[in-house]
Amino acid sequence: MNWKSRVIYTTIFAQCIAGQSCGGKEHKHPIEKQKPNILFILADDQCYETVRSLGNTEIHTPNLDRLVSSGTTFTHAYNMGGWNGAISTASRSMFNTGLFLWKSSKGNLKKKSVDPTTAGLMRDKEQLWSQRMSSQGYETYFAGKWHVKGVTSDEVFDHAKFEKKGMPKQTAEGYYRPQLGVEDLWSPSDTTFGGFWQGGKHWSEVLRDIGEEYILNHKSNSKKPFFMYLGFNAPHDPRQSPQEYVDMYPLDSIAVPSSFQEEYPDAETICGRKLRDERLAPYPRTPYSIKVNRQEYYAIITHMDAQIGRILEALDKSGQAENTYIFFTADHGLAVGNHGLMGKQNMYDHSIRSPFILTGPDVPRGKLISHDIYIQDAMASSLELAYGEEQKDIDFRSVMPLIRGDRIQNYESIYGAYINRQRMIRSNGYKLILYPQKGIYKLFDLQIDPYEVNNIAHNPEHKERIKSMYQELKLLQKNKYKDPLSLDDFYPELMKYE
């Protein structure tokens, strides 16, 4: 039952109770149920494996655990990729336009004079997420990381504060660290390094304060439902938090990832060893440097979790929680030592897969759904809740039909891309990754190899599967995602399969 149907049903039921359709006197103004509030919380660089209740017992996330237990989690939610190293820009452009990667920006790889990261969006302001919510009677609020080119948050939200266009400032001391036997000059709790501490208060705490203020003031000052978009910069580097959070994670309690490598053999091909994210740890990678980086990653996530807890408390205190849907996800994941990589500019699950949790009226509690979705399906879902039906001009799909059991899947396959260096398709439990510039391709059986460490691409028994997945990827590129890159120029041996 869609939202519009629920409103009609509620109205009829209320009228019957009042005697309107049961022989009683008719009222001039039928009772209507208010549309639900939407609270969208977006983290930055948070991979799926960083929520305790979703399987990682190393990390402490009591408030995200609360959301998991009180709602439904989609365990395989993906970001599609990016136009450059700042994957966040493409991800947030897709969130706010509802359009797939290559369709969401005016830039295009074929137009070498046009940089998609600065060209602006393919939708007018009136068609963006917040403006669509406004058209349905919502009071709209924004605070935090924006990172969308061509428009500022205060142009498209009723209330906008603390807009951050990108990451907190990193310092030279924050790179190529730590190294055994070398003094580490950088500290996550030292406020003199700026970054999240710039302005005197940790940015996650500032965002918490604004979120609390928005929620409590809305209850007093508006009769409209609210759409609230809170964008944390955490856990993006510089991964800073108060020392008490760092102390929660002794190094001997942190495991080295099972896919750990001293150096990814194709690093130069896929993104470059000097890419900013990859310079956060020294080469070759060491278990020590990876443990320290993961310690600081876990600490800033736990600190962010505490701020989310305060926002949830404010929602409870305001009396608005019962009629509020909460979406929690991240713009993408992060490697943090997996496969010898540090960043998110790759097609492995640790870097393209994020938590996706939804709570709210009629949402099952403590349920896990394994269907593949895109994280930007949150946008499509909120529009269904606001309009009462899915919007046909949105590329992404609502998850509400999956929750209700009205649809068995949103996508047959998941597509991924990073500039012209990587392409990916995930389908039927397998993942095919391609590095076109070198003609490299890799195949992983995700059912028996979820950490993607055993490349089976050159096993003869998988020849037909590779052929099928390659052809499907090309069709998706051309017909659905409008991908400007032609793969056949790089894979003559795969063309022989045709």
Per-residue pLDDT of the chain (498 residues; tens, 9 = 90+): 443 444 344 343 334 434 444 444 444 454 467 899 999 999 999 999 999 999 999 999 999 999 999 999 999 999 999 988 999 999 999 999 999 999 987 654 344 434 554 555 567 777 899 999 999 999 999 999 999 988 999 999 999 999 998 899 999 999 999 999 999 999 999 999 999 999 999 999 999 999 999 999 998 888 999 999 999 999 999 999 999 999 999 999 999 999 999 999 999 999 999 999 999 999 999 999 999 999 999 999 999 999 999 999 999 999 999 999 999 999 999 999 999 999 999 999 999 999 999 999 999 999 999 999 999 999 999 999 999 999 999 999 999 999 999 999 999 999 999 999 999 999 999 999 999 999 999 999 999 999 999 999 999 999 999 999 999 999 999 999 999 999 998 998 886 544
Neighbours of 111 (CB within 10 A): 12
Q: CA dist 21 to 10, 33, 92, 115, 169, Å?
A: 13, 18, 48, 61, 63
What whole-number distance in Å separates Cα of residue 414 and Cα of residue 354? Answer: 14
In eight-state DSSP terms, residue 353 is E
What whole-number distance in Å separates Cα of residue 103 and Cα of residue 430? Answer: 26
Q: Are 226 and 338 in contact (CB under 8 A)?
A: no
In 428-475 the beta strands, taken as DSSP E runs, fall at 430-435, 440-445
Sign (positive/negative) of CA torsion 451, 455, 456, 457? positive
Rounded to a whole number, what is the largest CA-CA distance in the chain? 86
Q: Which residue shows structure tokens 């498209």?
A: 156
What whole-number distance in Å separates Cα of residue 282 and Cα of residue 92? Answer: 30
| Residue type at 323 in one-letter notation | N
pLDDT at 111: 42
CATH 1.10.10.10 matches 38-411: no
CATH of 417-495 given 2.60.120.10, 1.10.260.40, 3.30.1120.10, 1.20.120.80: 3.30.1120.10
User: In the chain, where are the structural domains located?
Assistant: 38-411, 417-495
DSSP 163-204: EE-SPPPP-GGGSS---TTS-----TT-GGG-GGGTTSS-HH
pLDDT at 33: 74
What whole-number distance in Å separates Cα of residue 315 and Cα of residue 328? Answer: 15
Three-state DSSP class for residue 143: strand
In eight-state DSSP terms, residue 123 is S
Closest by Cα among 430, 401, 398 to 414? 430
What whole-number distance in Å separates Cα of residue 496 and Cα of residue 204? Answer: 53
38-411 matches 417-495 in fold: no
What whole-number distance in Å separates Cα of residue 263 and Cα of residue 181? Answer: 20
In residues, how long is the chain? Answer: 498
Lookup: tokens for 472 = 């499907």
Three-state DSSP class for residue 421: coil
DSSP H or E segment with residue 25: none
Q: Are 239 and 300 in contact (CB under 8 A)?
A: yes
pLDDT at 228: 98
